[in-house]
Structure 1
Amino acid sequence: MPDNINYKEILKREGIKNTKHRCSIIEILGKSDAPVTAEDIFIRLHESSKSICLSTVYRTLETLISKGLVSKTIISSDNRAVYELNTAEHKHHLVCVGCKRMVSIDGCPFNEYEKEIQGKNGFDITGHKLEIYGFCPECRTDKET
């Protein structure tokens, strides 16, 4: 997300009260290249000298989810919840089973098949998520040595 985003304006537009914690959390999500856990957000806030309880991070994330600003994904390999800002384009991820790092995939490899699947099954598809599991280059190198 671009650096010139006004996070206060985003909260205002969605009818969410502007607090320093909410702005800080949405800013962290906006600047993250990959989805992050609530614990990651908590650590980043403390590293920037912002005092907040982990429970406040979770409550804030749930508020942002309820307004459609943030999406929550459960990583099935280890049952972790990760969060990211909702954008116009949905994202899919590569998940390293070694270090748990996530990398977003550019574009959606599933879009071309969605209409075909919908037609074959008569299913009205409203969305999807794709997680691909494997080993990142660093973990693959460690595994081979």
Structure 2
Amino acid sequence: MEGKDCREIFKKNSIKTTKQRELVFGVLTDSDVPLTVEEIYVILMEQEKNMSLSTIYRILDVFVSKNLVQKSNITDNKAVYEVIGIGHKHHIICISCGKIIALDHCPIKEYEIALENETKFEIISHKLVFFGYCPDCKKK
């Protein structure tokens, strides 16, 4: 994500813009799957952007508190983070190696509408995660 776009999002959400926040937000917006803090750290190191794990945690806490980023525990009780509002995503997770794949569409949109009609709830979001074995682990 471009720095200008980050700055506009941060300003709109009353977040002070820093280079480190821009870098972490950029890593999250560029990813198709939720990332752990460690994965964000590795990506930043590969980009030769030096940042401590504690700094990444603090930045993510700010993003979560401002509802820019969603924190979930969908794998091995490790928290994963993804940007809210940049596409509606569901995931398939390999229970052997932990690989995560994002689905490119929502398979339950019609069901959500029917559920709203039946229950009279106003559904504002949902989360769907499939678990199984990836092709590589299935071969083992």
> What is the TM-score of this pair, normalised by structure 2?
0.87
Between 77-86 and 119-128, report the one with greater CA deviation. Answer: 119-128
1:30-60 deviation line (CA, Å, top 9, x unaligned) = 1112111011111222233323221211111
Q: Counterparts of 2:4 and 2:32 in 1: how far apart (Å)?
A: 15
Write the distance in 2 (CA, Å) between the matches of 1:42 and 1:4.
19
Match of 1:22 in 2: 21
The percentage of counterpart residues that share the same residue type is: 41
CA RMSD between the two structures: 2.1
Unaligned runs of 5+ in 2: none
98, 120, 124: which one aligns with 2:118: 120
Shift of 1:13: 2.9
Q: Could you say if the C-alpha distance between residues 106 and 10 of structure 1 is closer, same or farther in structure 2, counting changes exceeding 3 Å?
A: same
CA contact (8 A) 2:72 2:81 kept: yes
In the alignment, the residues of structure 1 paired with residue 43 and residue 86 of structure 2 have an alpha-carbon distance, to the nearest angstrom, of 26
Match of 1:102 in 2: 100
Aligned length: 140
TM-score by length of 1: 0.84
